[in-house]
Amino acid sequence: MPVLTLDRLEKKFGNHVAASNVTLTVQDGEFVSLLGPSGCGKTTVLRMVAGLVTPTSGRILVDDTDITNLPTNRRNIGLVFQSYALFPHMTVFENVAFGLRRQGVKGADLQARVNAALASVRLTQYGDRYPRQLSGGQQQRVAVARSVAPQPSVLLFDEPLSNLDAALRDEMQFELKRLQRELGMTTLFVTHDQSEAMSMSDRVCVLADGVVQQYATPEDIYHRPATAFVAGFIGRSNRLAGVVEMLEGNTCSVRLPSGQVFRSDRGAPPRRGETVDIVVRQEDLFLALTPREHAHAGKVVMRSFVGSRVQYVVGLEGGLEVIAEVATNGEHAGLESGAQVFIGVQPGHVYVNRAPASMA
């Protein structure tokens, strides 16, 4: 049964549409991420759920109750802010107890629930400390404990890991997912970091320009993108403009101004001669030392070692450059600048976008 339902939510700020017809459900105990570039509307959606922004139209339901017009303190929703928003003059215990006191909880019950919340985030021994005495990761866990202590129906996260360094961010991804699983909390998580969304979520809602592009599992988002925007936003991609040259069923050929032809069998645009964008992920490009089907002759312009992967900038005829990414221990991971190669992609990995969309 869905715990959270967004029904055709829309928000306009003057003539600007920040969110348009956003419809989705979050099941009991599910972890869902709202993912997209800056300005896509994800934070606006979260703030509407929290009661901090009033929708222009649409409904928000929690446990089948319409909360669209309820004030924030009557929604039974927990919110973890990007800045943690801890009270610096209060101890960790008092920060966690704050929401419970406002609910009228006191005495032994208050003590037990605060202790349980601190235990859930592994901070049992930190109750008498102040936020300034904690690390960034510990402060974030206090913010989580404060939000879960009142036992909300839905827990909201507004980019809570963005202030942490890379190593701590990876650690906290695991910690938040562990905590969410242990508590069975229904969670809506906002992020612009696709690795966070893909690694932590049961489902991901990709937004662009306030519109839901796809709502599916991380595996479907990555391997079966519903739109060329999703294909280009998820993973590292090359985006190339060209003209549809051949059209046959669900297959089309797109010729680039530099002369190369790429084939796609992922659903063809309707007209021959139409200008389109094609999206090819870096990891879907293959390198070969001899001619192969769907490959073009080129030369390695630059090589970059990035840990588990090697990135190659490959120059093709007509001045076109594309970026390919291969495994560090792969067959062609040792190519140097100036090497002659053949680079290509299978038609099933070429995504065609009829109306080129902004990736900003």
- Residues 274 and 242 reside in one and the same domain: yes
Q: Please indicate, yes or no, if residue 160 is contained in any of the structural domains.
A: yes
Which residue, of 210, 229, 248, is where some domain finishes? 229
Q: Is the pLDDT of residue 163 over 90?
A: no
Residues 92 and 150 in one domain: yes
Residue 291 in domain: yes
Residue 64 sits in the same domain as residue 171: yes
Q: Which residue has the higher pLDDT, 346 or 329?
A: 346
Residue whose pair of structure tokens reads 């190659």 in the numeric block: 312
At residue 356, the pLDDT reads 43
Identify the domain boundary among 229, 245, 268. Answer: 229
Mean pLDDT, the chain, integer = 91
Residue that is written with structure tokens 């996260």 in the block: 157
Higher pLDDT, 213 or 1: 213
pLDDT-derived band at 48, boundaries 50, 70, 90: very high
Predicted local confidence at residue 168, as pLDDT: 76
293 belongs to a structural domain: yes
Same domain (yes/no): 248, 192: no
CATH code of the domain covering residue 290: 2.40.50.140
Output the pLDDT for position 175: 81
Does one domain contain both 122 and 29?
yes
- The parent domain of residue 287 ranges over 237-353
What is the pTM assigned to this prediction? 0.81
Sheet holding 65-66, edge to edge: 16-27, 2-13, 57-62, 65-66
Q: What is the pLDDT of residue 231?
A: 85
Residue 359 has pLDDT above 70, yes or no: no
- Looking at the fold, whether 241 and 143 belong to one and the same domain comes out as no
pLDDT at 131 > cutoff 50: yes
Radius of gyration of the chain (CA): 24
Shared-domain flag, residues 82 and 220: yes
Same domain assignment for residues 13 and 85: yes
180 phi and psi angles, rounded to 5 deg: -60, -40
If asked whether residues 168 and 267 sit together in one domain, one would say: no
94 and 185 together in one domain: yes
Last residue of a domain, one of 173, 201, 229: 229
| Crossing angle of helices 92-102 and 136-148, rounded to 10° | 20
The predicted structure's pLDDT at residue 267: 73
Domain count within the chain:
2
- Quote the pLDDT of residue 360: 28
Please report whether residue 136 resides in a domain.
yes
Residue 117 domain-assigned?
Answer: yes
Q: Which CATH number characterizes residue 195's domain? A: 3.40.50.300
The reported pLDDT for the residue numbered 228 is: 78
Range from 74-83, 162-171, 312-321, 339-348 carrying the lowest mean pLDDT: 162-171
Higher pLDDT, 243 or 231: 243
Is residue 11 situated within a structural domain? yes
Question: Residue 296 domain-assigned?
Answer: yes
Residue 264 confidence class, pLDDT cut points 50, 70, 90: very high
In a domain, 212, yes or no: yes
What mean pLDDT comes out for the span 229-255?
90
